Amino acid sequence: MADAAALAHSTQAPTPRVVLDSNIWVDILIFDDAVARPICAALEAGRLDAIISPACREELRRVLDYPQFARYAVDAQAALAWVDRVTRSVADPEDAARVQGEAFVPRCKDRDDQKFLALADAADVAYLVSKDRAVLKLKRRMAKYCDVAVLPPKQFVALVQLENTPPAAIPNQA
């Protein structure tokens, strides 16, 4: 007879692989946004395979230092340490070896956002979560050419069924 734990494990859905745009990290790390809380909790619980690259992490580091966020008194070092703990870092796509037959990555109007699209494609993620209009505008093309679903956070939480993930501690605390 099969072990019950092994059977339960074999029927569980695979951990969704995802890239989070900087605006989602800001919602988690600075604003404790209600829509992003299930994503935060899922990251903490290991229910998401979040991918980040050095370029995306560097952008987040810069964003956390923006003067308009100073009033939130976020411990940027603690926040980035938490991000490092709940993500898997991969090489920047432009540094990765290119292979023949590589997918076409649509061009974003905002060049600063191109790194998230390229990372989502190169890391073979299922989802790119963003609130950025320029990124969301590429939803159909990313699905067609890269097989990546580009979703706003509320839609992602519902689709991946993260609503019932127990809350996690706010990650910007030391």
pLDDT tens by residue, 110-136: 889 999 999 999 999 999 999 999 999
120 found inside a domain: yes
How would you list the strands of the sheet with 87-89, edge to edge?
87-89, 49-52, 17-20, 127-129, 149-151
Give the domain CATH number at 121: 3.40.50.1010
SS3 87: strand
Say what the pTM is: 0.85
168 found inside a domain: no
152 found inside a domain: yes
11 found inside a domain: no
Query: Would you call 96 exposed, middle or buried from its count of C-beta atoms within 10 A (0-12, 13-18, 19+)?
Result: middle
107 found inside a domain: no
pLDDT band at 172 (very low <50, low <70, confident <90, very high): low
141 found inside a domain: yes
In the 8-state DSSP scheme, what is residue 17? E
Residue ranges making up the domain that contains 55:
16-94+113-159
Q: pLDDT tens-digit profile of 45-61?
A: 999 999 999 999 999 99
Q: pLDDT tens-digit profile of 135-166?
A: 999 999 999 999 999 999 999 999 998 877 66
Q: What is the pLDDT of residue 102?
A: 57
Give how many domains the chain has, as a whole number: 1
53 found inside a domain: yes
